[in-house]
């Protein structure tokens, strides 16, 4: 059965050639690297953010860092005798003089851009040369009366051959304005509220037109929300079918708080499947990671989305959770094996006989915990084998079937409840 798209989102699936100012060459660059529709451009997310707020002082400013400062044009030094030499313009900031360096720019253009005594705003990486601050080809030069045109927080996108950053940003802004103002949510309201996520539309605007830096709470929540949307749409469908076919009963997990231990490089597909199953069961999944902030997943062919940590390994205590899951992913296991707090947390769960689920490569973590190396566990190479249960320790080697051990893990959680009733 063919399901039609709601008419409200029709504009999001318009051809990229419908964007004003996009010619055939630009369209080809977008088609080859991003996609062929407006929604593809919207989901082309920035990799970082440049903070272009006014720099309070150049003193102790790290070399090669981005600065934004107000200055006054003092003097020009044209390259009249050697065209290969740069054109230099000296400007005066509040406390320092600074040289602006230009290559291969016409003198008349520079004179028009930077007339003597002109008050300006400049922004770019700063260097130090011959005992003097120096900027080569500033990203931005604005007259003081137009300083509000400078983006305070500027998103940076992956470079695409045949597509300038200016054209890309213009295309993204046009595409964002195609988003319906009143777009119904498809994620249950209780999930959005429990995670303090902004709306789908607000999240997209925040990511592309940030009001703060990359690590701000609002920005992180927006990326987390969009990560959930994207992966829910593209990957979780397979997991839903699997859950429907196998009807997994995870009733014991309802209301429980489960820690999922990760480092950069954890398997994204498995993580999303687990996340979805946990939410359906009514459990709370909490990410504990090596570092605060965002942790990058691996989607099988490259780096996936970034996920915010709920707690760091250095502060995590087993007593705060009802169980522990360590997903598959060789990259993140290689990191966790060298992380003392990761071993400490796993050791605490095993020592207290709390439910633990190790998936795929994560089974190797048992070799690092005293007394755990000899416990029965699934072999990493036995990808077709059933999960191995040893008390409340569950291991499943099928790295691409991370739901395999969830029912056994649920039973381990339930056994604690049974013991409490018996007592």
Looking at the structure, tell me whether residues 140 and 164 fall in a common domain: no
| Cα distance between residue 24 and residue 398, in whole Å | 47
Name the residue with higher pLDDT: 142 or 249.
142
Beta bridge partners of 98: 91, 133
CA distance 135 to 88: 10
Residues 263 and 394 in one domain: yes
pLDDT above 50: residue 92: yes
Domain that holds residue 121: 53-149
> What residues contact residue 359 under an 8 Å CB cut-off, 6+ apart?
270, 325, 326, 327, 328, 395, 396, 399, 402, 405
pLDDT recorded at residue 211: 82
- pLDDT at residue 215, rounded to an integer: 73
The string of pLDDT tens digits covering residues 279-318 is 888 899 999 998 888 888 887 767 878 888 899 999 999 9
Give the C-alpha separation, 195 to 207, whole Å: 17
Residues 6+ apart with CB under 8 A from 68: 52, 53, 54, 55, 121, 122, 123, 140, 150
Query: Residue 405's pLDDT is what?
Result: 85
**Predicted pLDDT of residue 2:** 38
Residue 387 lies in a domain: yes
Same domain, 375 and 247: yes
Contact present, 213 and 294 (Cβ < 8 Å): no
pLDDT at 242 over 80: no
Same domain, 80 and 29: no
Same domain for 303 and 356?
Answer: yes
Residues 382 and 402 in one domain: yes
Report the CATH number that the domain containing residue 144 is assigned in CATH: 2.40.50.140
Whether 211 is in a domain gets the answer: yes
Share of the chain above pLDDT 90, in %: 36
- Bridge partners, 275 (sequence order): none
| Position 385 pLDDT exceeds 90 | no
- CA atoms lying within 13 Å on the CB side of residue 146: 8
Half-sphere exposure (Cβ direction) of 147: Cα atoms closer than 13 Å: 14
Q: Is residue 276 part of a domain?
A: yes
* Residue 1 forms part of a structural domain: no
pLDDT tens-digit map of 51-64: 888 887 777 778 88
CA distance 40 to 224: 18
State how many domains the chain has: 3
pLDDT exceeds cutoff 80 at 399: no
Task: Answer yes or no: are the C-beta atoms of 383 and 397 closer than 8 Å.
Answer: yes
- 285 within domain boundaries: yes
Instruction: Specify whether 145 is located in the same domain as 62.
Output: yes
What's the CATH number where 316 sits? 3.40.50.880
Same domain membership, residue 209 and residue 320: no
Q: How far apart are CA 281 and CA 275, in angstroms?
A: 10
DSSP of 356-382: EEEEGGGGGGGGGSTTTTTS----TT-
For residues 363-376, average pLDDT = 87
Q: In this model, does residue 422 exceed pLDDT 50?
A: no
What average pLDDT is seen over the chain?
A: 84
- By percentage, how much of the chain surpasses pLDDT 70? 89
pLDDT at 420 exceeding the cut of 50:
no
Residue 376 inside a domain? The answer is yes
Read off the pLDDT band of 3 (50, 70, 90): very low
Residue 401's H or E segment, with its range, is none
pLDDT tens profile 124-178: 999 888 888 899 999 999 998 888 888 888 888 887 887 888 888 889 999 999 9
Compare 419 and 211 and report the one with higher pLDDT. 211
Q: Helices 200-208 and 165-176, interaxial angle, to 10°?
A: 160
My answer on whether 309 and 327 are in the same domain is: yes
**328 near 360, Cβ under 8 Å?**
yes
264-276: pLDDT as tens digits: 999 888 888 888 8
Give the residue from 103, 130, 149 where a domain finishes.
149
Residue 95 and residue 174 share a domain: no
- Average of per-residue pLDDT across 118-122: 93
Pairing of strands 303-308, 294-298: antiparallel
Residue 326: inside a domain, yes or no?
A: yes
Residue that terminates a domain, selected from 97, 132, 149: 149
Query: Are 145 and 164 within one domain?
Result: no
- Domain identity same for 33 and 75: no
Q: Point out the domain boundary residue: 119, 149, 179.
A: 149
* Residue 303 burial class via C-beta count within 10 angstroms: exposed 0-12, middle 13-18, buried 19 and up: middle
- The answer to whether residue 219 sits within a structural domain is yes
Tell me the pLDDT band of 327, cut-offs 50, 70 and 90. very high
The pTM of the full predicted model, rounded to 2 decimals, is 0.52
Question: With contact defined as beta carbons under 8 Å apart, do 391 and 353 qualify?
Answer: yes
The answer for residues whose C-beta is within 8 angstroms of residue 418's C-beta and 6 or more apart is none
């Amino acid at each position: 059965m063919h399901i039609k798209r709601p008419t409200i989102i029709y504009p999001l699936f318009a051809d990229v050639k419908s964007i004003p100012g996009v010619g055939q060459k630009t369209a080809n660059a977008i088609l080859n690297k991003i996609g062929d529709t407006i929604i593809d451009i919207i989901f082309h997310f920035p990799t970082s953010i440049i903070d272009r707020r006014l720099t309070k002082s150049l003193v102790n400013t790290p070399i090669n860092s981005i600065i934004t400062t107000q200055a006054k044009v003092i003097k020009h030094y044209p390259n009249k005798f050697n065209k290969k030499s740069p054109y230099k313009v000296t400007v005066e900031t509040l406390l320092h003089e600074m040289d602006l360096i230009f290559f291969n720019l016409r003198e008349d253009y520079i004179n028009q851009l930077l007339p003597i005594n002109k008050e300006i705003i400049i922004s770019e990486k700063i260097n130090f040369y011959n005992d003097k601050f120096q900027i080569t080809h500033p990203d931005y030069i604005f007259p003081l009366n137009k300083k509000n045109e400078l983006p305070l927080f500027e998103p940076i996108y992956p470079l695409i051959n045949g597509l300038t950053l200016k054209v890309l940003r213009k295309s993204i802004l046009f595409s964002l304005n195609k988003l319906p103002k009143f777009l119904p949510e498809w994620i249950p309201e209780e999930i959005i509220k429990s995670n303090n996520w902004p709306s789908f539309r607000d999240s997209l605007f925040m990511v592309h037109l940030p009001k703060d830096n990359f690590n701000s709470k609002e920005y992180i929540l927006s990326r987390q929300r969009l990560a959930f949307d994207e992966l829910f749409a593209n990957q979780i469908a397979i997991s839903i079918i699997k859950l429907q076919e196998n009807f997994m009963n995870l009733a014991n997990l309802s209301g429980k708080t489960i820690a999922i231990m990760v480092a950069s490089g954890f398997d994204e597909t498995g993580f999303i499947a687990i996340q979805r199953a946990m939410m359906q069961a009514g459990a709370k999944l909490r990410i504990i990671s090596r570092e605060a902030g965002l942790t990058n997943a691996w989607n099988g062919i490259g780096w996936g989305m970034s996920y915010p940590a709920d707690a760091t390994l250095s502060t995590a205590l087993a007593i705060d959770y009802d169980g522990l899951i360590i997903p598959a992913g060789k990259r993140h296991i290689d990191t966790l094996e060298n992380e003392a707090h990761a071993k400490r947390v796993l050791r605490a769960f095993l020592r207290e006989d709390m439910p633990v689920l190790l998936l795929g490569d994560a089974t190797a973590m048992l070799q690092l915990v005293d007394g755990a190396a000899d416990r029965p566990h699934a072999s990493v190479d036995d990808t077709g084998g059933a999960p191995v249960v040893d008390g409340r320790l569950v291991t499943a080697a099928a790295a691409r079937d991370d739901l395999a051990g969830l029912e056994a893990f649920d039973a381990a959680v339930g056994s604690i409840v049974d013991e409490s009733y018996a007592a």
